[in-house]
Amino acid sequence: MIRAIAARELRSLFFSPLAWTMLAVVQVIVAYLFLAQVDFFLQIQPRLPQMPGAPGLTEIVVAPTFGSAALILLLVVPMLTMRLISDELRNQTLSLLFSAPVSMTEIILGKYCGVLGYLLIQLLLIALLPCALLLGGSLDVGILASGLLGLLLLLAGFAAVGLFMSTLTAQPVIAAISTFGVLLLLWIIDWSGAAGSKGASVFGYLSMLRHYESLLKGVFNSTDVVYYLLLIALFIILSIRRLDSYRLQH
C-alpha cells in the first residue's frame, strides 16, 4: 500500500515539469561547483607532494562539492515537498485516501517514500560527478561513501521536515517557506552561544550542518547517523499525528 502511494507520488512529480527542471538546475549548478573545485585541485596539485599530510583529491574536490550541493538542496527540497499534503488538502483529494482501507501511517510513509525516491535520483546524479574522476585518478572510496551517506541522511531529514510542514497548511507556498525557515534555522543554529558555554553544545548538537560536516570528512560517528534518524522519525510521527487530527474535533 505504501508502494502504491509512493509510486503515484513519484509519477505525479515527473508528470509536472517541476521535477525535471529541478533535477536539471541542481545538476548544472553542482556540476559547475564541481568543475571549479577540480580546477582548484589542478592549480595546487604540483605543490601538494611537498606538503606533509596533504589532503588528497577526494578531500579537495568531493567534500566541498557535496557541501555546496547540500546548501542548494536546502533551497530546492522545500519546493518539492510543499505539495505533498497541501495539494491534497486544497484539491480535497485526501478523502480518497481517508475512505480507502489505508492507515494514516501508510499514507504518510507512502508520501515520504515517494519524495525520497525522487531525492535518490537526485543523489545518484550528483554521485556521478565524483565518480567521473575515477577515469583519470583514484578516489578515497571510504570518504566518498561516507559523504554520500551524509547527503542521503541530510536529504531524508529535509524531506521529513518538508512533509510535516506540508500537513500544516493547504497553501503549498506557505509550506515551502516554513520548511525553508525550519531547515535554515536547523542549519545555522550552532552560530548562537559562545563556544564552550552550555547552550553552545546543545545548539551544536541540534545543528544539521555539524553532523553533516563530520560525515563529509569521512568520520563515521554513530551520533551523527542517530541524529538524522531521530530527526526523520520525529517529523514523520508528527506528520502522522497531524494527518490524524484532521478527522478529529477542531
Partner 1 sequence: MDSDNLIKVEQLSRWYGPLRAVDDISFEVRRGEVLGFLGPNGAGKSTTMQILSGNLAPSAGRVLITGKDILDEPEAAKAALGYLPEQPPLYRELTVDEYLGYCARLNRIPREQRRGAVDRAKERCGLTEVGRRLIGNLSKGYQQRTGIAQAIIHSPAVVILDEPTVGLDPIQIREIRALIRELGGEHSVILSTHILPEVQAVCDRVQIIHRGHLVFSDTIDSLTRQQTVSSLRAGFRNPPPAAELARLPGVLEVEELGAGLVRLRFDPERDITDALLGRAMEAGWRPYELTPEIKTLEQIFVDITSRDTGTPHAVAEPQAQGEAA
Residues 183 and 161 sit within 8 Å (Cβ to Cβ): yes
Tell me the window of 1-9, 70-78, 142-150, 207-215 that interacts with partner 1 (CB under 8 A): 1-9
Which positions from 68 through 107 interact with partner 1, judged by CB under 8 A? 91-103
- Phi and psi of 219, rounded to 5°? -90, 110
Q: Applying CB under 8 A, what is the total number of residues that bind partner 1?
A: 25
User: Which positions ≥6 away from 50 have C-beta within 8 Å?
Assistant: none
| Least Cβ distance, residue 14 to partner 1 (angstroms) | 10
Note whether 50 binds partner 1 by CB under 8 A. no
Which positions from 10 through 29 interact with partner 1, judged by CB under 8 A? 11-12, 15-16
Within the chain, what is the greatest distance between any pair of CA atoms? 71
Tell me the window of 8-16, 44-52, 197-205, 225-233 that interacts with partner 1 (CB under 8 A): 8-16
Note whether 8 binds partner 1 by CB under 8 A. yes
CA–CA dist 245, 239 (Å, integer): 10
Residues 110 and 195 sit within 8 Å (Cβ to Cβ): no
Tell me the window of 9-17, 58-66, 155-163, 189-197 that interacts with partner 1 (CB under 8 A): 9-17
Residue 204 has which C-alpha cell? 551544536
Task: Choose between 43 and 99: whose C-beta lies nearer to partner 1.
Answer: 99
Distance of CA 74 to the CA centre of its chain: 7
Annotate each residue in 210-249 with x if it binds partner 1 (CB under 8 A) or - if it does not, as one string.
-------------------------------------xxx
Distance of CA 149 to the CA centre of its chain: 11
Residues 147 and 126 sit within 8 Å (Cβ to Cβ): no
Task: Choose between 8 and 28: whose C-beta lies nearer to partner 1.
Answer: 8
Residue 200 has which C-alpha cell? 553552545
Of 39, 83, 81, whose CA–CA distance to 61 is shortest? Answer: 39
Task: Choose between 110 and 147: whose C-beta lies nearer to partner 1.
Answer: 110
Q: Which positions lie near partner 1, rule CB under 8 A?
A: 1, 4-5, 8, 11-12, 15-16, 91-103, 247-250
